[in-house]
Amino acid sequence: MALSNIRLEVMNTVEKSVQGFIDKYLIPVDDIWQPTDMLPNLQSEEGFEEVHQIREEAKELGYDFWVVLVADMVTEEALPTYESWLMDMEGVEQHGKQRGEQNAWAKWVRHWTGEENRHGDTLNKYLYLSGRVDMKEIEKTTQHLINDGFDIGTGRDPYRNFVYTSFQELATNISHKRVGQLAKKKGNKMLGKMCNIIAGDEMRHYMAYREFVKTIFEHDPSEMMLAYVDMMKKKIVMPAQFIRESGQGIAEAFENFSNAAQRLGVYTTYDYIDILKKLNTYWEIDKMRSLTDEAEKARDYLMALPDRMTRIADRIAIPQDQHKFKWVEANGMV
């Protein structure tokens, strides 16, 4: 489905501000942290001591914790899917008009990807050093997830995609932050710091994407509102929606992973509702005027949605039975 001219016009207009967004919300390569800043330096003797420390501290962490950390890492490692999806949005032009020239949206996607790539890298190295997980099984899961792709219900529409990324960046901020807090509470200092600094990146990304949407609301309020309501009616699916273990069918591991995250309180339905409320507030949809009748109705629906979802969530119990994953040895099952 091709986009209306107005959408493309809006994308072209906002493109002029994208360099400013890059400067404001992303950090240049030489100034930003790198995975090795968070991990033992194996060029030094002390590095091996630190590996030993990681392995000792890791013994304190429970079964659900490892499952969630593995799935979070795998989600980050499926980054090729996300980059290619965003690069394919209408209004993003991967090929510059002249050789060497970059369309500002494509530049954003590349620079955002460059930052994101450090997350999976960091967590992967940590998991490998921890000695608590079956790396080969995890690697198979990652390869499957990249093979399986995802379908987040946005199509090539930038409006819907920016709703999705606004939502998802805050969701990852919350989950990395909570995992970090749990790790710290159990005395895993290095892991705590790692997750916390990753969460900080996700916060900047969230602030950028919600700003893109806010800017689009200024140019094209009714269409932006309809894109927002459409995404919320479909529900925001997780980027790892299709996650599986070796030998399983597509998506078969997702529910058990999600239940583990809910049991730990790392990411729950209430967080989902909270994100929705935050977006409603930041975009000031209650104050929006000059909407079409349809967009007006969409706004009313979105305003009422958090309460409606809370009433439903209150009635749903989180399954307590732990699934045994191939990723994590079962003798630590608590």
Q: Check whether 52 is labelled as a binding-site residue.
A: no
Q: Does 93 qualify as catalytic in the annotation?
A: no
Q: Does 169 qualify as catalytic in the annotation?
A: yes
Q: Does 116 qualify as catalytic in the annotation?
A: yes
Choose the catalytic residue: 111, 144, 176, 205. 205
Residue 202 lies near Fe ion (rule: CB under 5 A): yes
Using CB under 5 A, pick the residue from 205, 244, 299, 326 that binds Fe ion: 205
3-state class percentages of the chain: helix first, strand second, coil last, to nearest 5 = 70, 0, 30
Residue 7 lies near Fe ion (rule: CB under 5 A): no
Which residues touch 43 (CB under 8 Å, ≥6 apart)? none
Stretch that binds Fe ion, among 4-12, 30-38, 114-122, 129-137 (CB under 5 A): 114-122
Q: Which amino acid is at 277?
A: K
Stretch that binds Fe ion, among 49-57, 76-84, 268-276, 299-307 (CB under 5 A): 76-84
Q: Does 205 qualify as catalytic in the annotation?
A: yes
Q: Check whether 139 is labelled as a binding-site residue.
A: no
| 86 or 309: CB nearest Fe ion | 86
From CA 157, how far away is CA 159, in angstroms rounded?
6
Instruction: State residue 249 phi and psi, 5-degree precision.
Output: -85, 170
Q: Check whether 116 is labelled as a binding-site residue.
A: yes
CB of 72 to Fe ion, least distance (A): 9
| 76 or 157: CB nearest Fe ion | 76
Cβ contact 10:216 at 8 Å: yes
Helix H segments across 88-188?
104-130, 135-148, 158-185
CB of 257 to Fe ion, least distance (A): 16
Using CB under 5 A, pick the residue from 118, 119, 160, 299 that binds Fe ion: 119
Q: Does 76 qualify as catalytic in the annotation?
A: yes
Choose the catalytic residue: 15, 64, 90, 119. 119
Residue 118 lies near Fe ion (rule: CB under 5 A): no
Q: Does 202 qualify as catalytic in the annotation?
A: yes
Q: Is 280 helix (H, G, I), strand (E, B) or coil?
A: helix
From CA 225, how far away is CA 292, in angstroms rounded?
10
Residue 15 lies near Fe ion (rule: CB under 5 A): no
| 132 or 176: CB nearest Fe ion | 176
Number of C-beta neighbours around residue 332 at 10 A: 14
- Residue 97 burial (C-beta neighbours within 10 Å; 0-12, 13-18, 19+): exposed
- Residue 176 burial (C-beta neighbours within 10 Å; 0-12, 13-18, 19+): buried
List residues binding Fe ion (CB under 5 A): 76, 116, 119, 169, 202, 205
Which sequence positions are flagged as catalytic? 33, 76, 116, 119, 169, 172, 201-202, 205
